Amino acid sequence: MCGIVGAILKRGQVLQGMIEGLRVLEYRGYDSAGVAVATADGIRVAKKAGRLEGLEGVLVERDFPDAQAGIGHTRWATHGPPTDLNAHPHVDDSGQVAVVHNGIIENYLELRDELQAKGIELKSDTDTEVLTQLIGEELKDSGLAVAVGRALARVRGYYAIAVLRGGSSPEVVCARQGPPLLVGLAREGTWLGSDVLAVIPHTRDVIFLEDGDIAELTASEVTVRDMEGKVVKRESQRVDWEASHTGKGQWPHFMLKEIHEQPDVLAHTSFHRIDEEQGDVRFDEGGWTDADLAGIDCIQGIACGTALHAAHVTRSLIEGLARVPVDLDFASEFRYRDPIVRPGTLALAISQSGETADTLAALRKARELGARTACICNVAGSTMVRESDSALMTQAGPEIGVASTKAFVAQLVAAYLLAIRLGRARGVLSRDRGRELLNDLRTLRPKMEQLLSDDFREHVLGIAQRHQGVKGFLFLGRGINYPIALEGALKLKEISYMHAEGYAAGEMKHGPIAMIEAWMSSVVVTGHGLMAQKVRSNIEQIRARGGPVIAVGADRESLDLADEAMEVPDCGEWLSPILNVIPLQLLSYEIARLRGCDIDKPRNLAKSVTVE
């Protein structure tokens, strides 16, 4: 979704750094971009619908001035189409302040009428311009931070905003209610961003703003106040991501780079947490000791998209290994139904970003209803991590490709560790069984690497070539691998725009079987034990109706029955989703590449969905 960057500097020029920041934020998804800088005469703005290159063209054409204070934005349209006029920053009637905004002002229509009645002419269709004019109005009799506070007090909705005032002593104020916003403390000045990645080229010391915070930035300090104007203390944190993580290196796409990082993600997320001696897992994060886990009788999983597929696997792992009942829901459904949360419930959110609006809302609802809250999350300092009673961090590093790959694998690894921890804490898993399970995890890395060899990729490419022209894909799986079928279908849809459906294989005969024909390819994730037998009959049934089958997994008999096979090393049932998903990620990647799609920035998608 939208991205914000900005700075006020002691030395150096801000424009280049802002453009670099916006480039880093491109991965979040956007349809227009803009910047504003402060000059002695006021504000100068450049904005353009389309990609960042368009904005850069405008900057060159207009010989846009550089400056030491500025704000920038990548917009993902909500109010009004993606046009130059609707792009941010917006400037107030007096030309004194510019505003960039992530979020939605819900009462903007009534505020717009009020402004129009005062004779203020609004130029765009956006809710943001309404807020900008309100700030401009308040500025007539107060300083910038107070004016921002007063304007925000009139607004209903959620926002992260950055406000720039021009003149000989430029000012920058930012505020947050909902979407993330942080301030970076660098030697050359103070940066702000909606995402840590926008500021880490300059500094790794950041202050994560909290809801209701209004921060006044100077080139050497930050003062944070609440909505009543009272100064509040916010500690800075050192983030351990490197600026180099934000580059593609030699890879043609972030997605391919991130798929290949998965063996490292396994190692970083798990190896230091393994207690070999005890056949157990130790988390540095608080909230996971035997005593902490003693009162948990059931788990409510909540997540969206790929993270929800990880939650499905988490359910199989926790129920199977720790015997704790797990219920699941789409976060977007959970937040609006009237759920029953039993005493002893742990609400477990899973999220790469820790900022997904639906997941946050669902987690807050679960807390209101009496649940203890926890999250499996990839971004330290994110809202979800800060608001949860306990957090379990995945160590996937920044994920830039919009289609989640390595974060998903990290979530599966974290879930496996959590299931073992729960099983050991509850006395359901013996020390020896814990050791066996951890040993299986330790030996997984070379098996993942086999699936990332050039030969295997060539093999997958061949399958992609033979199937890229079909009418659609059906992905089928059972048990712990049912969510892998869902994930395979989602990946393919997201980046290749081909129609794909993920289904529980046992449901095939209740409807989807009607779709089987020569131009409908089925990708079948094979199983273990009884599940393997069941999946074999699915393969036979599809083939009997003339449908081509691509089988993925370790079950030899299933692979032999299929037309095409993507063979995966055997690693036992509990870890099989981690290996099975890799060929599916590669298949989607290759099909999307053959079809000429924009793999890292698929149309209409945003990396982090921070609005409803």
Chain residues binding ligand M6R by CB under 6 A are: 304-307, 351-353, 356, 359, 402-404, 494, 605, 608-609
Give 181 or 224: the residue with its C-beta nearer to ligand M6R: 181
Give 304 or 321: the residue with its C-beta nearer to ligand M6R: 304
Of the candidates 291, 300, 586, 321, the residue with the CA atom closest to the CA atom of residue 441: 321
Give the DSSP letter of residue 527. -
Give the DSSP letter of residue 321. I
For the bound state, the minimum distance from the C-beta of residue 495 to ligand M6R, rounded and expressed in Å, comes to 9
**Whole-angstrom distance, CA of residue 240 vs CA of residue 200:** 10
For the bound state, the minimum distance from the C-beta of residue 508 to ligand M6R, rounded and expressed in Å, comes to 24
Q: 298 catalytic, yes or no?
A: no
Give 316 or 353: the residue with its C-beta nearer to ligand M6R: 353
For the bound state, the minimum distance from the C-beta of residue 379 to ligand M6R, rounded and expressed in Å, comes to 8
Structure token digits, residue 306: 């790929």
For the bound state, the minimum distance from the C-beta of residue 490 to ligand M6R, rounded and expressed in Å, comes to 6
> Which residues does 533 contact at the CB level (< 8 Å), separation at least 6?
none
For the bound state, the minimum distance from the C-beta of residue 487 to ligand M6R, rounded and expressed in Å, comes to 8
Using CB positions, name the residue nearest to ligand M6R.
305
Instruction: Considering the candidates 2, 304, 571, 597, report the single residue annotated as catalytic.
Output: 2
Q: 471 catalytic, yes or no?
A: no
**Whole-angstrom distance, CA of residue 303 vs CA of residue 285:** 21
**CA dihedral sign, ordered 199, 196, 2, 137:** negative
Of the candidates 561, 491, 489, 490, the residue with the CA atom closest to the CA atom of residue 520: 489
For the bound state, the minimum distance from the C-beta of residue 359 to ligand M6R, rounded and expressed in Å, comes to 5
Long-range contacts of 508-515, Cβ-Cβ distance < 8 Å, separation of 24 or more = 508/474, 508/476, 508/538, 508/541, 508/542, 509/541, 512/474, 513/541, 513/542, 513/545, 515/472, 515/474
Give the pairing type, strands 500-504 and 472-477: parallel
- Maximum C-alpha span of the chain: 79
Give 4 or 402: the residue with its C-beta nearer to ligand M6R: 402
Give 307 or 523: the residue with its C-beta nearer to ligand M6R: 307
Structure token digits, residue 130: 């309404």
Give 246 or 411: the residue with its C-beta nearer to ligand M6R: 411
Structure token digits, residue 524: 């079948």
For the bound state, the minimum distance from the C-beta of residue 401 to ligand M6R, rounded and expressed in Å, comes to 8
Residue with tokens 């400056």: 67
Instruction: Considering the candidates 48, 365, 601, 607, report the single residue annotated as catalytic.
Output: 607
Entry field: residues in the chain: 612
The answer to whether the CB of 140 falls within 8 A of the CB of 92 is: no
Give 115 or 609: the residue with its C-beta nearer to ligand M6R: 609
Long-range contacts of 453-458, Cβ-Cβ distance < 8 Å, separation of 24 or more = 456/583, 456/586, 457/586, 457/590
**CA dihedral sign, ordered 580, 582, 583, 589:** positive
Q: Assign 3-class secondary structure to 56-80.
A: HHHHHHCCCCCCCEEEEEEECCCCC
For the bound state, the minimum distance from the C-beta of residue 407 to ligand M6R, rounded and expressed in Å, comes to 6
Which residues share a beta bridge with 500? 473
Give 391 or 402: the residue with its C-beta nearer to ligand M6R: 402
**Whole-angstrom distance, CA of residue 256 vs CA of residue 285:** 31
Give 172 or 304: the residue with its C-beta nearer to ligand M6R: 304
Give 89 or 602: the residue with its C-beta nearer to ligand M6R: 602
Half-sphere exposure of 343 (CA within 13 A, CB side): 1
3-state secondary structure at position 279: coil
Give the DSSP letter of residue 231. B
For the bound state, the minimum distance from the C-beta of residue 564 to ligand M6R, rounded and expressed in Å, comes to 24
Long-range contacts of 222-230, Cβ-Cβ distance < 8 Å, separation of 24 or more = 222/183, 222/185, 222/190, 225/145, 225/149, 227/149, 227/152, 227/153, 229/146, 229/149
Give 7 or 599: the residue with its C-beta nearer to ligand M6R: 599
> Which residues does 136 contact at the CB level (< 8 Å), separation at least 6?
92, 93, 94, 96, 97
For the bound state, the minimum distance from the C-beta of residue 272 to ligand M6R, rounded and expressed in Å, comes to 23
The answer to whether the CB of 450 falls within 8 A of the CB of 310 is: no
For the bound state, the minimum distance from the C-beta of residue 386 to ligand M6R, rounded and expressed in Å, comes to 15
Residues carrying an active site annotation: 2, 607
